Structure 1
Amino acid sequence: MAYPVLTGSVLIEANGAALNSAGRAESLRTENAIVVKQIRVGRFRFPYISGQAWRRWWRETLYGDFGWTPSEVIREAKNAYTKGDPIAFEEDDLFGYMVARKRQRGRGMEEREDIESAMGTNRRVSPLKNSPLISVLPNVITVDFGHFSRNLPPGADAVPFEFEHYTTFFQGVFTVSLTDVGCFAAGEMADLSVEVLKSHWDELHQIPGEQPVYLLPMSERVRRVRDVLLALAHLRGGARLARNLSDVSPVVVLVGFLNGGNAPFQRLFEPDENNERVLLNLPRLHSILEDYRDRLLVVAESKVVFFGYRPTVLANEADVLKEFQKDKLFSECIEVVGTPQQALKIAAELIGPIFEEYVCPGEEL
């Protein structure tokens, strides 16, 4: 039985940016010192963007460009959670949630049982999973010094501040479990509360079983995955953009469909010998394709791994294009399609056929 996933690796360029801050630092010269998130490996420091921040950018692009409605957030004294309604809110479906409501006691047994079934804990594992975005190049963090002096009274001292920024490339991976999109179980600790299920009963198709499963129409499931993929092509967000504006849409993309839940296209990018430019690690990619070749999903005998890139980004661009054409394994598995946005658009167009063949065989789109 197939377990189809959409998976990809992205490279994002940051130019004089500080996209994810870690807060104040006591070690710098001024009290107002803000540092970026970073990972230390020996003597190397790699800035990174948390997976949570990446997901926030993704959500906000979906709100702004694709009309997704943010799920209502309920705030309690020591807890916060979304509405937990993945039928009404696409983000609850794709990004998952944990809804841990306080139980309330009713006056009668029937009332109490109904309230407890409706107000318990529900959790949905996110079909969309992603890594942090980690810098390919090490030791690129620079400390900048500034001061606030605009329109201060005569004789007032300027207010000094420091902050870190970098010019680098970030790489990360993501997967979308296609069989889990728009597919829900109901009950305690499951995707849906009984309350939410009852409110959307007419919108779902039930698959009977020991624990019934409820499905959105295939057309809606396909739309949601397409939106997620196309939003990545137009991704925007990040901290300190007012004076450190950086485009965070991918400059290199490798995206495809696999039978299996892994995200194998990891750490495909590496620094050159001078730690100045980015290379695509061809031996590593070749090794991955050797292992996953038989797990690549095929639609109408078409390749389903697509490569898109911005010219001049990769230091070994000429070698990459040559090897993709000359090497038999590369040429059979990967199609070079132009820009990153074109690669994501072509993959998005295949989501419907993938659903028809591997997710919902026999169901018309």
Structure 2
Amino acid sequence: MSFLVGKIALDVVAGAPNNGKSEDNISWVKQLRAGRDIFPYVSAQAFRRWLRDSLPREEPRSTVHRSGSKAKQQAFTAGRPDLYLDDDLFGYMVAVSKENFQRDTVLATGTLVSVVAQRPTMDYGTMSRDFPADAHPVLHHHELYSAVLAADVLLDLPRAGVFETDGSGLRTAFSADVAREAVENGAQSTTLRGVSAVRLPIEERRRRVALILSTLAMVRGGAKQALHYGDRVPSLVLLAPMKGGVNPFTRVLGADQGRPVLRADVLREELGAWNDEVDGPVLLGWAPGFLGEQREQCATELADLIEDGKVLLGHPRVLLRALAEQIRRGERDAWFEDPSA
């Protein structure tokens, strides 16, 4: 059993990829405040939307249903993780009439917050096309910023393609009728962490996890692309297979004298402290040019771990796609098995 845990970082250059409420013709970027410091951020919901939208076109998406009106509106997906990858990996809640079904996310993503405090810049534009010569232009204002945004991530591999059908204090993933249909279509009855469940064939579970990893290597999306188009593929991806699901890498990326830095000494000490829980090589995907010369410095500081194969340093896209291919070939099937099943 393994969880893939770690961090991802985006390199936003003069962008506004996720915005808050607009007021008085001004668009504000989402931002946290700590005293006088401002930290722009991209919400986990936004990044998950980018991931979902970046899936291959041929991959079916769960249908969305909307009901009610005004303050009593609600929206929910089909709630069929047996049929749709996004319902499986992203989770959902369906509450209609007397039916209540819920699936906790398999892919957990934190808020992508600027590593270093950054004060967004207010920009303005005008609209005057085809106005009379003496007419005043229409002004509109919006914020933008440059920052390195980082978040923790976790992928619970034993739960990928496995759906709870009972439990104490938990909502089931779907109805008994849907569970029977899933079994008729090839799923198996099983137990996961003391809870009855149905499990998709391992080939489909491999495919789904491999696909989300490949998609992480080619994420696109974000707001205001007409004005601030930019790369949204993570410039840094740290992923480690951990037996217990603990993420000890929260503090690997930090700030030093107003600059974001990857602390090789922190990574080394955490790997040593959690050596008994690490279940394979640690992927350190690092785009060339990101954080200046730190990539080369980190390679030097971690040379022994890299030489021993404990840390794999390379381009994020190359490492993610290689891991996805290993999973597709069944080389990491042990990661999908839970000893308590």
CA contact (8 A) 2:39 2:117 kept: yes
Equivalent position SS for 1:152: coil
Deviation at 1:147, TM superposition (A): 1.4
Distance 1:253 1:198, change over 3 A: same
Residue 321 of structure 2 is matched in structure 1 by 345
Q: Say yes or no: does 1:323 pair with 2:301.
A: yes
1:209-248 matched pairs, under 5 angstroms: 212-248=196-232
CA contact (8 A) 2:7 2:153 kept: yes
Distance 1:357 1:208, change over 3 A: closer
CA contact (8 A) 1:258 1:296 kept: yes
Residue 81 of structure 1 is matched in structure 2 by 76
Q: Say yes or no: does 1:269 pair with 2:239.
A: no
Residue 296 of structure 1 is matched in structure 2 by 278
CA contact (8 A) 1:68 1:91 kept: no
RMSD: 2.2
Tell me which structure has the larger Cα radius of gyration. 1
1:113-146 Cα deviation digits (max 9, x unpaired): xxxxxxx111111111010111122124111122
Equivalent position SS for 1:195: helix
Equivalent position SS for 1:156: coil
1:194-235 Cα deviation digits (max 9, x unpaired): 232233331211127985321100010010001111100000
Deviation at 1:66, TM superposition (A): 5.6
The one-letter code of the counterpart of 1:343 is: L
Deviation at 1:360, TM superposition (A): 4.2
Residue 148 of structure 1 is matched in structure 2 by 127
Distance 1:15 1:185, change over 3 A: same
CA contact (8 A) 2:43 2:112 kept: yes
Query: Any gaps of 5 or more consecutive residues in structure 2?
Result: none
Pick from 175, 190, 197 the counterpart of residue 207 of structure 1: 190
Residue 136 of structure 2 is matched in structure 1 by 157
Deviation at 1:270, TM superposition (A): 2.5
Equivalent position SS for 2:273: helix
Distance 1:218 1:200 in 2: 14
Distance 1:310 1:329, change over 3 A: closer
Deviation at 1:156, TM superposition (A): 2.4
Deviates more, 1:340-349 or 1:226-235: 340-349
Distance 1:229 1:208, change over 3 A: closer
Q: TM-score, normalised by structure 1?
A: 0.83
Distance 1:205 1:123 in 2: 20
1:24-173 matched pairs, under 5 angstroms: 24-25=22-23, 31-62=24-55, 65=56, 67-77=58-68, 78=72, 79-103=74-98, 120-173=99-152
Deviation at 1:262, TM superposition (A): 2.1
Distance 1:347 1:208, change over 3 A: closer
Distance 2:13 2:47 in 1: 17
CA contact (8 A) 1:229 1:344 kept: yes
1:234-254 Cα deviation digits (max 9, x unpaired): 001100001100111011222
Equivalent position SS for 1:190: coil
Equivalent position SS for 1:293: coil
Residue 249 of structure 1 is matched in structure 2 by 233
Equivalent position SS for 2:227: coil
Residue 9 of structure 2 is matched in structure 1 by 11
The one-letter code of the counterpart of 1:47 is: P
Residue 284 of structure 2 is matched in structure 1 by 307
The one-letter code of the counterpart of 1:310 is: A
Equivalent position SS for 2:299: helix
Distance 2:202 2:289 in 1: 40
CA contact (8 A) 1:286 1:330 kept: no
Distance 2:270 2:136 in 1: 59
Q: TM-score, normalised by structure 2?
A: 0.89
Distance 2:302 2:336 in 1: 30
Equivalent position SS for 1:344: helix
Distance 1:66 1:325, change over 3 A: farther
Identity %: 31
Query: Any gaps of 5 or more consecutive residues in structure 1?
Result: 26-30, 104-119, 299-303
Deviation at 1:329, TM superposition (A): 9.1
Give the 4+ runs in structure 1 shifted more than 4 A.
208-211, 328-332, 352-355
Distance 1:358 1:243 in 2: 43
Aligned residues: 327
